[in-house]
Structure 1
Amino acid sequence: MIRTGLQKLDEALGGGIRSGVITDISGASSTGKTQLALQVMVNLLSGGGSIFYQDTTGTFRPERLLELLKTKSLDPANLDRVTVSRVTSTRDQMNGILTIQKSDFALVVIDNVTDLFSFEYSREEQLLEKTTQFAKYMKDLSHVAVSKKIPVLVVNMVRNAAEIEQENMESVISVFTHVKIKLAKRQSVYEGRVFVNTKTNQFFYKITREGLVETT
């Protein structure tokens, strides 16, 4: 188990981020999705082990990870145990599974998991191909998570359709993700919901220099 740093979230997850399953973190922009992933990474690094971080959007900032390490009084040299792969195509993203299979990473983070698929298959007539390719990718990712007993975090965006907020490619990603964490901002309040099996739990948080901090 890898702690998230949020007590109520960890309790809802049964102790933290579990090995051998895919945990899906979704939400609108600026709701703390990447921040949550980074603080999970810091908690993993504090106990040893290496991380594979696949960046599909070019937004990974090592200085933010260093800042979080410092808030935990951890050696900045821990950053050396993070392998960052900047990918610019779905082919590169899918090939990343081979890297995971051949290595001994203790955590895999993919941010953002659907962005490149939406970009490359953006036309309406490509919908079937996009769905098929993404389903294949998620199936292969799920298989490697289970077979190597690796905790996998995927970060995903949400879109507004007819004034309804929906996770991007939710119909596919829900088949292969075992745990869902949905982050949202309601006026001035940040709210998180955790979906594990048939149970739903709620928590509230704020975004600070130290990452996501639980509030009441």
Structure 2
Amino acid sequence: MRTHTFVIKGMSEAKVEKIKEAAHKILGSSFSTGVELQDKRKRVFTISTGSKSVDGILGGGVMSQSISEVYGEFRTGKTQLAHTMSVVAQLPPDLGGASGKVAYIDTEGTFRPDRIKSIADRFGVDGNMALENILYARAFNSEHQMELINECSQRFAEDKDFRLLV
């Protein structure tokens, strides 16, 4: 059997190994008992998308402790969804939120504070307070995005109030 080594531009083998080591330190063993998994599942919650129809399709909203990917053509509402969830995540659970802060890594330069304020108004939230609870960074390339994600993990460990990473 022949194995192939593929080279990914910008990702040396040493860098990939470093990422794998960091992930293993965070995750620990790949195995857990059924009871441990049951306890972890009890901590999963959903954050509303702000749309009852979309929430219904997703089974209540976007699940915590998971990665959700949204894709689509230009002007299909991806940024609107990200902005809306950045406000909704701050609401109490009985209103579809998670009572927490948000980290927003902007890869396209589309984050608009004025949109956050108008969405906050829709939900009866002070716009400036909503913006205060969003930690924002602009990523300029994929390597910079990874650095920002690493910084987020440190901040999340220090401040347990974060509930969403966009």
The answer to whether structure 1 residue 40 and structure 2 residue 85 are counterparts is yes
The answer to whether structure 1 residue 53 and structure 2 residue 110 are counterparts is no
C-alpha displacement of 1:100: 2.3
Which consecutive residues of structure 1, in runs of 5 or more, have no partner in the other structure?
Answer: 110-216
- Structure 1 CA distance for aligned equivalents of residues 51 and 69 of structure 2: 16
The structure where strand makes up a greater share of residues is 1
RMSD: 1.3
Match of 1:97 in 2: 149
Residues 16-69 of structure 1: per-residue CA shift (max 9 Å, x gap): 110111111111111111101111111111232111100112221111111110
- Structure 1 CA distance for aligned equivalents of residues 135 and 105 of structure 2: 8
C-alpha displacement of 1:78: 2.0
Aligned with 2:68: secondary structure?
Answer: strand
The answer to whether structure 1 residue 64 and structure 2 residue 109 are counterparts is no
Aligned with 1:29: secondary structure?
Answer: coil
How many percent of aligned residue pairs carry the same amino acid? 35
- Structure 2 CA distance for aligned equivalents of residues 65 and 102 of structure 1: 25
Match of 1:86 in 2: 138
- Structure 1 CA distance for aligned equivalents of residues 106 and 138 of structure 2: 5
The structure where helix makes up a greater share of residues is 2
Match of 1:28 in 2: 73
**Match for 1:107: what amino acid?**
L
**Match for 1:57: what amino acid?**
E
- Structure 2 CA distance for aligned equivalents of residues 64 and 94 of structure 1: 26
**Match for 1:108: what amino acid?**
L
C-alpha displacement of 1:89: 2.1
The ranges of structure 1 where at least 4 consecutive aligned residues each deviate by more than 4 angstroms after the TM superposition are: none
- Structure 1 CA distance for aligned equivalents of residues 119 and 113 of structure 2: 10
**Match for 2:153: what amino acid?**
Q
C-alpha displacement of 1:8: 2.5
Aligned with 1:54: secondary structure?
Answer: strand
Name which one, 1 or 2, has greater alpha-carbon Rg.
Answer: 2
Match of 1:2 in 2: 47
Match of 1:106 in 2: 163
- Structure 2 CA distance for aligned equivalents of residues 80 and 92 of structure 1: 23
- Structure 2 CA distance for aligned equivalents of residues 70 and 22 of structure 1: 28
